Every structure is written in C-alpha cells, then in structure tokens.
Amino acid sequence: MASTHGAEVLVASNRGPITYEVREDGSLHTKRGGGGLVSGLSAIGPDAGALWVCSALGDGDREAVRRGVGEPGVRMLDIPADVHADAYNGIANSVLWFVHHMLYQTPLEPVFDAEFRRQWGAYEAYNRAFAEALAQEAAEGAAVLVQDYHLCLVPGMLRELRPDLRIGHFSHTPWAPAEYFSMLPDDIRSQLVWGMLGADRLGFLTWRWAQAFMDCAGSTDPERIFPSWPSGSTPKSVGHSPTGRPPLGTTEIGVHGLGADAEFLRKRAHEADVDERMAALRDEIGEAPDGSRRRTIVRVDRTELSKNIVRGLLAYRQLLDDRPEWRERVVHVAFAYPSRQDLAVYREYTAEVQRVADEINSRYGTPGWTPVVLHVKDDFARSLAAYRLADVALVNPIRDGMNLVAKEVPLLSEEGCVLVLSREAGAFQELGDDAIVVNPYDVIGTAKALHEALTMPPGERAERVKRLAAAATALPPARWFLDQLEALKAAG
C-alpha cells in the first residue's frame, strides 16, 4: 500500500491549515489558519515532501474537495457531514474533551447509552478514514505526526495498515487522571489506549499529562508491562505485549512544552491595525476620576468551559466588593470568543458569561466607568492590543493542556504585566515560579491574587515579567515541531 512517491512527513489533524469559503459569485476564497502546528510545519521547508491531512469542515471545504481544488501539501478528507458531526461534536468534544478536562457534572453526566455507542461508531469510522488516507499517502518509512484527541485510534489503525511507518501522536490537551478516565466503558478505554499505543512515540505538553496517560494505560490493560516511572525527566520506553491484537512494538513517551512564537507576535503586535485597536480600547477603558491611568485585568479565551471565565468574573466582582478602593480605577478587559456553538452546553456557557458581566456592570458601573469590557467577536488584532495594555493577565482554567495566552501576554505587555495563573494549566509547570498561582475553583483566593497583582511593586513586576517572557519563548513552535520529528525518527 506504500506509495512510491508518497510524502516523507505527514501531519494529521481535525482542523487543517486552510479553510475555504464560497463567495457570492461562486468563487472559492482561501483562508489560512495560524497556530503552533502551522508555523512548526513551515520550519521544515516547502521541499521536505510534507503533507497535511485534515477534515473538510463546512460547506466551503466540501465544495473545494468536490471541485478538486486544493493547495499543494494539504489533503482534505470529505468525511460525510453526519459522521464528522458525531465524531467531532459527539465523541471528541462532548466525551473525550470532557474526560481530559474533568468537566462532567453529576448527577446528569456522563451517560454512556445507545446514542453514545452510535456516535462511537462514527468516531471509529472517522479515525479509519484518516488512517486509510495516511496509509495511502505516506512514502515507505515516512514519519506521521497525528494530533490530538480527535484521532486517538489512528496510530493503532495505521500501524495495522502500514507497519513500516514511524508513527507519532501528540496530545494538545491534558490527559485525564486514571480514576477519572475509568468512568469510560472498559472496552472504550481499551480501544483508546490500544489506538494510542500503536504509535512509536507519544508526545504530551507536560510530564503531568504524560504520567496520567501512563497511569491510564497501566490500569486499563494490566497485561501490558509498564516499567515504573523513572526519576528525572528523560523520555522512556514502554514495553507491551497485547493479547489478541497485532503486536505493536514499543511506545516511547516524550514531553514537548510548546512556547510562544515571539518573533511573529512582536512583529504582528506593532502593525497599524493593532495600534488602532489599542486607541479604541483605551477609549473604552477611560481614565480614573483623578485623571490617572486605569489598571487593566486582561483575559483572552475561546468561550470554553475549561477556561473558567465565569469564576474569573466572580473573582473580579469579589475584588470590587472587598476592595472598594479599586472601583473606578480598574477595568476587566475580557475577550471570550465563540467556540463549538453546535453544542448546547457551550451556548449556555456563552450566555452565562454575558449575564455575569452585565450583572457586574449594572451593579458597579458609573456613567464614566464600565467595570467589565466584554467582547465576544473574534479579533486577533484586538487581542494583541489588549495584551499590550495588560497590567494583569488572568489565566485561570480548570484544566488546560498548556495555555499559550499565559505565555503571550508577558511577552507583549508594555506595563510589565503580572500573571495570575491557575495551577491546573500546563503552563504552570514552566511559569509557576514567577506567576501568582491560584486554585481555579477558589473565587476568594483568585480575588486576593488579583489584588496582589495590582499592587505588586514595579521592581518586582519588572523582574518577574522578564523571567516569564524568557520561559515563555524557550520552545518556539519551529523548534517544538522539529524536536518531535527528530525524536520520532530516533524512537524505538
């Protein structure tokens, strides 16, 4: 099945580097995405024989596939819309995302019923479509880098089809603790672990998530042999001999903590559209009654349950309650961009964010002061403007694979912002020493942290932000990607 002229390096992910829109005149317009993978992959250069396999998402992408329109280096899979919806909304975002971020709430969730089983069938079909496309496109011995929880079964499926390939999988999310993971039906847990262990190498953003995967794999199938975790943080090999399944070889576990793309961000943040948005934001923020500069507490997130935006707002309200001296002197700039709006729970969460922000504004606001400046329309230039204006960055997720905002704001803030950071974000492992660390559930503790951040002496702020910016850029996307590729080629 190996193609003689196939790709030497392949990336597979649900969301690809481009999307298409059908214009009114029927023409197709291409939009390019950003993010770590896009800049990472570009680091290997256009002649490296790389191919990105992704889903066709939405009507524009499907139309492009139908018309045979494409970009070199990208293959979009036109998986039937209902299969994709069940796999992506039903399993990936409503089950696996919830398990890894520990978002289920009893007594109603989770329920693994006939509907779940039907959706699981779609998840398998969707993973199989990727495995088959990769098997078809890869050159003999090629390196394949599979991304994220959408595609957990792909490594195992691909290993069966093409034992010659070097297969890696990278998780951009946390991995669930074994006791939480064990709420999934036993056969589903086994399949997920089997799929992942089809890889030669599994990558995680922190050792914490890597260790959690090891625990889950060990408790899921005790017949597999997992040596105890080594002291120190060197990658290790995991031997396993599954029964009744094809031999999978060994899987190495590695950690690559993605950093901010400093070069790109510093340049982009000083373009004219960002300057314009800064001026507009300054107008919205206004001045304190005594004419002094108002402080800003900035957050930028997808409107995502795991980001904990509502508790962040409640902590800000608590600050205004406990510390009246901050009234009129601070503004919470909160950007909460729509995400996964096909899911009712996300729509409800979006409404709750708006409701709490409105409630704070009507309770405390004055004619010259809007305590919460909430924007929900995605605007990258405005996000960068807010980063530049930040006195405090609030990053308080319940659980997060890494959280790049925590790394990006210290790089760009002109006031030398203080980072208030959840101990449950992957970024905590790298930035925790220089942040003010919070328990994301503790609203009073978070309010105190905000006060501490706002009152930190300038010298200390400057020292901390310097160290934060250095840590945040330690592994830029290009290096992050190349490290994984090199390690995959060397694994086993």
Spell out the alpha helix ranges (H) of 162-206. Answer: 178-181, 186-197
The answer to whether residues 86 and 58 touch, using CB atoms and an 8 Å cutoff, is no
Nearer Cβ to ligand G6P (94/318): 94
Q: Which structure tokens are listed for 444?
A: 């009073």
Residue nearest to ligand G6P (CB): 172
- Smallest gap, in angstroms, from Cβ of residue 175 to ligand G6P? 12
Interface with ligand G6P, residue 89, by CB under 6 A: no
Nearer Cβ to ligand G6P (57/238): 57
Footprint on residues 14-53 left by ligand G6P (CB under 6 A): 15
Q: Which structure tokens are listed for 134?
A: 């990769």
Nearer Cβ to ligand G6P (145/297): 145
Interface with ligand G6P, residue 399, by CB under 6 A: no
Q: Which structure tokens are listed for 418?
A: 């203080």
Cα 475 from Cα 97, distance rounded (Å): 25
Cα 313 from Cα 363, distance rounded (Å): 13
Nearer Cβ to ligand G6P (370/403): 403
Nearer Cβ to ligand G6P (93/350): 93
- Smallest gap, in angstroms, from Cβ of residue 397 to ligand G6P? 11
The number of angstroms, rounded, from the C-alpha of 365 to the middle of its chain's C-alpha atoms is 34
Pairing of the two strands 28-32 and 18-22: antiparallel
Interface with ligand G6P, residue 293, by CB under 6 A: no
- Smallest gap, in angstroms, from Cβ of residue 445 to ligand G6P? 26
The secondary structure of 212-266 as a DSSP string is HHHHHHHHH-TTS--PPPPSSS--EEEE---SSS----EEEEEE------HHHHH
Cα 159 from Cα 127, distance rounded (Å): 13
Cα 134 from Cα 364, distance rounded (Å): 56
Interface with ligand G6P, residue 75, by CB under 6 A: no
Q: Which amino acid is at 364?
A: Y
The answer to whether residues 16 and 33 touch, using CB atoms and an 8 Å cutoff, is yes
Nearer Cβ to ligand G6P (308/370): 308
Q: Is residue 55 classed as helix, strand or coil in its secondary structure?
A: strand
Beta bridge partners, 87, equal none
- Smallest gap, in angstroms, from Cβ of residue 11 to ligand G6P? 12
For the chain, the helix, strand and coil percentages under 3-state DSSP, each to the nearest 5: 45, 20, 35
- Smallest gap, in angstroms, from Cβ of residue 401 to ligand G6P? 6
Interface with ligand G6P, residue 127, by CB under 6 A: no
Nearer Cβ to ligand G6P (191/303): 303
Q: Which of 100, 166, 172, 399 binds ligand G6P (CB under 6 A)?
A: 172
Q: Which structure tokens are listed for 9?
A: 């390096």
Q: What is the DSSP letter of 9?
A: E
Q: Which amino acid is at 439?
A: N
- Smallest gap, in angstroms, from Cβ of residue 474 to ligand G6P? 20
Q: Which of 61, 137, 148, 215 binds ligand G6P (CB under 6 A)?
A: 148
Interface with ligand G6P, residue 339, by CB under 6 A: yes
Residue 392: name the closest of 352, 419, 354 by CA.
419
Nearer Cβ to ligand G6P (211/339): 339
Nearer Cβ to ligand G6P (224/340): 340
- Smallest gap, in angstroms, from Cβ of residue 400 to ligand G6P? 9
Residue 76: name the closest of 97, 87, 86, 62 by CA.
62
Q: Which of 162, 189, 224, 340 binds ligand G6P (CB under 6 A)?
A: 340
- Smallest gap, in angstroms, from Cβ of residue 55 to ligand G6P? 10
Residue 16: name the closest of 74, 79, 94 by CA.
74
Q: Which of 173, 206, 296, 396 binds ligand G6P (CB under 6 A)?
A: 173
Interface with ligand G6P, residue 424, by CB under 6 A: no
Interface with ligand G6P, residue 182, by CB under 6 A: no
- Smallest gap, in angstroms, from Cβ of residue 57 to ligand G6P? 9
Q: Which structure tokens are listed for 91?
A: 């399993």
Cα 351 from Cα 370, distance rounded (Å): 19
Number of chain residues interacting with ligand G6P (CB under 6 A): 8
- Smallest gap, in angstroms, from Cβ of residue 149 to ligand G6P? 7
Cα 149 from Cα 97, distance rounded (Å): 8
Nearer Cβ to ligand G6P (22/343): 343
Nearer Cβ to ligand G6P (101/332): 101
- Smallest gap, in angstroms, from Cβ of residue 174 to ligand G6P? 10
Number of H helices, E strands in the chain: 19, 16
- Smallest gap, in angstroms, from Cβ of residue 265 to ligand G6P? 18
Q: At what angle are helices 207-220 and 186-197 packed, to 10 degrees?
A: 120
Nearer Cβ to ligand G6P (13/251): 13
Binding site for ligand G6P (CB under 6 A): 15, 93, 148, 172-173, 339-340, 401
